[in-house]
Structures are given as structure tokens and as C-alpha cells.
């Protein structure tokens, strides 16, 4: 097995980083922004990572949170679109799906109210709180990985997530 630091630093082996993490990063971006933007931003994430590979410090963590940090910063540039999307979902509900009709109808009826309320609640969070929540929920990152991805302290991750959970529970009427 090639050590991650060598893979990131070596332009000839950087393809391994891309092959290993591209789909995960694209899915994360697609959940945060419109799917039509996800491919482009995922590609841009890896382009930036390749150009800045000399900045990767394996002592700070693995490649995965580093890539999520780059992706999250790119998403930040598209923040207004993200907020508009959450506000639109809050007004209109989830977009239609192309899966099996009968099951999708049942799922959409069940989820419509929740999606609307959750989208409104996510839009009401601060940028920092929303980034932490979505890195944990969509990316499946640990507190340490979120801290590394956003360049913040673990305690900041914990406090933002705690505040966000309280706000989301209040908005969704969960106790």
C-alpha cells in the first residue's frame, strides 16, 4: 500500500486519490448544491487539490477531510444558490423522482412535510453550523475530520453541532 502522503505529493500517483474519493465528494456536493453543479465542483475540488498537493500535511489528518475542506470552501462560493435551494424546497417540497411510481408516491407523501420543514431549518442555520451539520450528515465525517476539513478546533465543531442540533430540534418540534 502506498502511504497517502506519497500518493498526494506524487503527481503520477494522484490519480489514486481521485479514484478513491471522487464519487464520495461528488455526492456530498450534489447533496449540498444542485446536481448539475456537483460534477463541475467535484472536478474543481480535485484540480485545486492537485495544484495545492504540496500543502497537504499528513500530520493534520487523512486526505479525505482535506478534500471535504476544499469542497466545502467551493460550496461556500455557491452559498446563495444553496440558500435559495433550501428556501425553495421549504416552499415547494422535494423534486419529483424517477424511481418506481407506487413506492415513490408513498415516500413523497411521507417525506414532503419533513423535507419542507428540514429545508427551512437548514436555511436558518448559520454558515458555520450548516457546514458542520452537513459534513457530519452527508459526508459522514467524524468531529476530528470536520475540524480538519474546516480548519477549526474540535471544540468549535462540537459547539456548532450542539447549537445546530438544538436549533434543528426546535424548528422540527423534536424533543
Q: DSSP characters for 56-99?
A: --GGG--HHHHHHHHHHHHHHHTHHHHHHHHHHHHHH-SPP--S
Span of 6-10, 16-20, 39-43, 116-120 with lowest mean pLDDT:
6-10
Q: Which residue has the higher pLDDT, 1 or 31?
A: 31
Q: What pLDDT score does 99 carry?
A: 53
pLDDT category at 112 given cuts 50, 70, 90 is low
Q: What pLDDT score does 78 carry?
A: 81
Q: How far is CA 102 from each of CA 21, 93, 110, 154, rounded to the nearest angstrom?
A: 34, 18, 13, 45
Q: What pLDDT score does 108 carry?
A: 63
Residue ranges of the domains in the chain? 1-92, 116-174
Percent of the chain with pLDDT over 70: 82
Judge contact between 132 and 21, C-beta under 8 A: no
CATH fold of 1-92, please?
A: Rna Polymerase Sigma Factor; Chain: A (1.10.1740)
The domain 116-174 having CATH identifier 3.30.930.10: the answer here is no
Quick check: 1 pLDDT over 80? Answer: no
Write down the mean pLDDT value for the chain.
84
pLDDT tens-digit readout, 37-94? 899 999 999 999 999 998 888 888 889 999 999 999 999 888 676 677 778 877 776 6
Q: Which residue has the higher pLDDT, 21 or 89?
A: 21
Amino acid at each position: 500500500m502506498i502511504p497517502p502522503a506519497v500518493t498526494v505529493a506524487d503527481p503520477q500517483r494522484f490519480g489514486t486519490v481521485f479514484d478513491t474519493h471522487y464519487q464520495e465528494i461528488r455526492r456530498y456536493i450534489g447533496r449540498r448544491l444542485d446536481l448539475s453543479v456537483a460534477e463541475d465542483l467535484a472536478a474543481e475540488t480535485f484540480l485545486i487539490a492537485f495544484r495545492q498537493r504540496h500543502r497537504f500535511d499528513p500530520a493534520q489528518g487523512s486526505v479525505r477531510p482535506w478534500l471535504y475542506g476544499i469542497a466545502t470552501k467551493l460550496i461556500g462560493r455557491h452559498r446563495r444558490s444553496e440558500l435559495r435551494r433550501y428556501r425553495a424546497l421549504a416552499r415547494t417540497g422535494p423534486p419529483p423522482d424517477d424511481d418506481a411510481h407506487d413506492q415513490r408516491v408513498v415516500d413523497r407523501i411521507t417525506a414532503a412535510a419533513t423535507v419542507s420543514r428540514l429545508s427551512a431549518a437548514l436555511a436558518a442555520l448559520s454558515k458555520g453550523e450548516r457546514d458542520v451539520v452537513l459534513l457530519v450528515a452527508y459526508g459522514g465525517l467524524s468531529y476530528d475530520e470536520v475540524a480538519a476539513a474546516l480548519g477549526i478546533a474540535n471544540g468549535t465543531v462540537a459547539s456548532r453541532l450542539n447549537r445546530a442540533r438544538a436549533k434543528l430540534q426546535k424548528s422540527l418540534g423534536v424533543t
